[in-house]
């Protein structure tokens, strides 16, 4: 028996945004995260300080972790989105001029130079 094409788009081929979130699990792994927009306003290269009376050098945002990343500090899971930062004196100990490196490459530079990164909730930081 030959079936003819009805002309209707199968539900799984519709744009993801038209599918309810509970149906996205059927499409494939990690698809549910595609519709999550980060709340974190930071981008690599931003200068930030801790909120409420910070003293000392500002930190430099090295990488912004995605919303679905399960980041923890001292064994406690962070409820907000996180960023990894480095402090300027540590960056200046590296062999290159870190300020001339493209912001998207800062994480790789820090990894290559063993520059210590620190994780913070983005909500605990403000722009310097």
> Are residue 98 and residue 108 in the same domain, yes or no?
yes
42 touches 59 (CB < 8 A): no
> Are residue 110 and residue 90 in the same domain, yes or no?
yes
Counting the structural domains of the chain, the total is 2
Please tell me the predicted confidence (pLDDT) of residue 115: 93
> Are residue 75 and residue 113 in the same domain, yes or no?
yes
Distance of CA 115 to the CA centre of its chain: 19
pTM over 0.85: no
> Are residue 53 and residue 10 in the same domain, yes or no?
no
Give the range of the structural domain holding residue 89, as residue numbers without chain letter. 37-127
Distance of CA 120 to the CA centre of its chain: 12
Please tell me the predicted confidence (pLDDT) of residue 48: 92
Q: Is 102 helix (H, G, I), strand (E, B) or coil?
A: coil
> Are residue 4 and residue 49 in the same domain, yes or no?
no
Q: E-assigned strands of 58-115?
A: 59-64, 72-73, 76-77, 82-87
Please tell me the predicted confidence (pLDDT) of residue 118: 92
> Are residue 21 and residue 60 in the same domain, yes or no?
no
Pick left, alpha or beta for residue 89 (phi over 0 → left; psi -120 to 50 → alpha; otherwise beta): alpha
Please tell me the predicted confidence (pLDDT) of residue 105: 92
> Are residue 120 and residue 92 in the same domain, yes or no?
yes
Please tell me the predicted confidence (pLDDT) of residue 19: 54
Q: Considering only the C-alpha atoms of the chain, give the largest distance between any 2 of them, rounded to a whole number of Å.
A: 78
Question: What average pLDDT values come out for the chain (128 residues) when binned by 10 residues?
Answer: 62 57 51 59 90 82 82 70 91 88 91 92 87
68 touches 81 (CB < 8 A): no
> Are residue 31 and residue 54 in the same domain, yes or no?
no
């Amino acid at each position: 028996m030959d079936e003819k094409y009805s002309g209707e788009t199968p539900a799984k081929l519709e744009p993801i945004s038209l599918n309810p979130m509970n149906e996205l699990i059927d499409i494939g792994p990690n698809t549910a995260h595609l519709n999550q927009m980060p709340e974190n306003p930071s981008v690599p290269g931003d200068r930030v300080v801790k909120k409420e009376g910070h003293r000392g050098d500002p930190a430099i945002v090295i990488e912004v972790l995605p919303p679905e990343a399960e980041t923890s500090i001292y064994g406690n899971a962070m409820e907000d989105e996180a960023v990894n930062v480095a402090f300027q004196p540590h960056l200046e100990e590296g062999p290159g001029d870190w300020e001339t490196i493209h912001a998207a490459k800062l994480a790789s530079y820090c990894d290559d130079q063993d520059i210590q990164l620190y994780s913070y909730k983005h909500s605990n930081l403000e722009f310097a």
